[in-house]
Amino acid sequence: MTDITMPKLSDSMEEGTILSWLKADGETVAVGEDLLEIETDKANMTYEAPESGTLAIVARAGEALPVGALIARIGAEASAPAPPAFEARAAVPAGPVAGDSRSASRLAESPAPAPPAGSASAANRSGPVGVATPVARRLAAAHGVDLSALAGTGPRGRVTRADVAAAAGIDAPAAPVAVVPRAPAAAPVALAAPVAPGPAADGVEVRELSRLQQVVARRMAEAKATVPEFQVQTEVAMDAALALRTELKAAAGDGGVVPSVNDLIVKASALALRAHPLANGSYKDGRFELHPRVNVGIAVAAQDALVVPTITDADTRSLGSIAAEARRLAGRVRDGSVTPPELSGGTFTVSNLGMYGMTAIDPVINVPQAAILGVGATGTVLARDTDGEIVDRSSMTLTLTCDHRILYGADAAQFLATIRDLLEAPLRLAL
């Protein structure tokens, strides 16, 4: 028998939640087959069987377990007895539980009965429902969509949130579908079962945080409490950059990918990071870590959280490559198919709220990165031209939030000035 343990699917992952088993206990699996879906601190991910054999499930769907914990065994004999660890464990909430209560809440005294054949948990193990993303399953249940009738457009034919939304005739879910926390009980409750958030006694609507929201909340609180941050800000004249984008749009034609203003900012940031290595570093254990690759994260608003996929080697990519990769990653975030590797390895982050009309943003650092760039909307201001005439100019506010342990005021000012200069003379972005 080969032990299957909770894998470390991202550089920051400490524990994962088993969303569903895609194979049943006692079923024969082959190397590379989808085995189970795991919710990490970054995304939901399908884990493949590392070898062939008969599956003996140890950890039930809904359990949150630390990296390295035993979750299953794969062996040659279908009749192999289940290990003692196969005792049912009391279901725990998806959020982190501190101290000894974590381990105490996971072990129950008696085995739990298998879920009914018609339950959501059973549906997750086989059949068409098993090839849908967790977000798609919850959305389908909320809108009464039959997943078995859909042809998936996701990786390996998986049904995505976008597929369900199209079948339901909606552009996007009106509100996140709540996931019911598993309470200690004899019969397991499927995490994926959609339940409308119940009102509190005084009429206040209560919604449980998803695991991703819990992680984001914890990290933002840790960043504000532990990182000595400061901001520097500048105004950028965007006339030349907007003119370049117009030329690129004409050159691309109808079928080409046209770089957005945000793509220009990502490219300018990447070139500035290469010129200012400290800004591409991080502070860790009392020392600086300067990263050899320039990987720029872009903040994308997902269904229930802000997710930051990474454009790797952004300093060496063309504007067209950055534009195509940014659209691909944003699409995968929104349909729930983004993977932890696509969310890892970032050395800097760009957060743009300009499309919402916000004039400026003071973003919170994405630790352990040295800085994050907040981008406001491009607006029109009055200025004087070289002849002294009053004319309209396009202007945009950039705000850089910095970790003062690695970047000082002068460092931050020089780095932000480089980004501004590149955007004001944008032909250098195309070189």
Please enumerate in sequence order all residues whose Cβ is within 8 A of that of 146, keeping only pairs 6 or more positions apart, or say none: 140
**% of the chain with per-residue pLDDT over 90:** 42
User: Is residue 108 located within the same domain as residue 255?
Assistant: no
User: Is residue 38 located within the same domain as residue 110?
Assistant: yes
Q: What is the number of structural domains in the chain?
A: 2
Collect contacts of 359-363 with beta carbons under 8 A, ≥24 apart. Answer: 359/397, 360/233, 360/397, 360/399, 361/399, 362/231, 362/399, 362/401, 363/299, 363/399, 363/401
Average pLDDT over residues 142-158: 76
Average pLDDT over residues 68-92: 58
What is the average pLDDT value for the chain, to the nearest integer?
A: 79
User: Is residue 263 located within the same domain as residue 130?
Assistant: no
304-319 pLDDT tens trace: 778 899 999 999 999 9
Collect contacts of 377-381 with beta carbons under 8 A, ≥24 apart. Answer: 377/353, 378/238, 378/242, 378/261, 378/354
- The predicted pLDDT at position 199 comes to 59
User: Is residue 242 located within the same domain as residue 341?
Assistant: yes
Q: Which domain holds residue 310?
A: 227-430
In a domain, 377, yes or no: yes
Highest mean pLDDT among 45-49, 119-123, 157-161, 416-420: 416-420
Task: Give the CATH number, domain containing residue 162.
Answer: 2.40.50.100
7-47 pLDDT tens trace: 887 766 778 889 889 999 989 999 888 899 888 776 777 88
User: Whole-angstrom Cα distance, residue 411 to residue 125?
Assistant: 54
- Of 168, 188, 207, the domain-final residue: 168
User: Whole-angstrom Cα distance, residue 431 to residue 319?
Assistant: 9
User: Is residue 413 located within the same domain as residue 268?
Assistant: yes
Is there a contact between 56 and 82 (Cβ–Cβ < 8 Å)?
A: yes
User: Is residue 35 located within the same domain as residue 104?
Assistant: yes
- Of 124, 149, 168, the domain-final residue: 168
Residue 298 corresponds to which amino acid?
I
Is 404 among the residues known to form the active site?
yes
In a domain, 182, yes or no: no
89-105 pLDDT tens trace: 333 343 433 334 333 33
- The predicted pLDDT at position 155 comes to 61
User: Is residue 97 located within the same domain as residue 15?
Assistant: yes
- The predicted pLDDT at position 125 comes to 37
165-182 pLDDT tens trace: 788 776 544 333 333 333
Q: Which residue has the higher pLDDT, 62 or 121?
A: 62
In a domain, 362, yes or no: yes
In a domain, 194, yes or no: no
Task: Give the CATH number, domain containing residue 268.
Answer: 3.30.559.10
Is there a contact between 2 and 71 (Cβ–Cβ < 8 Å)?
A: no
User: Is residue 135 located within the same domain as residue 268?
Assistant: no
Average pLDDT over residues 342-346: 91
Lowest mean pLDDT: which of 62-71, 298-307, 387-396?
298-307
Collect contacts of 246-253 with beta carbons under 8 A, ≥24 apart. Answer: 248/319, 252/320
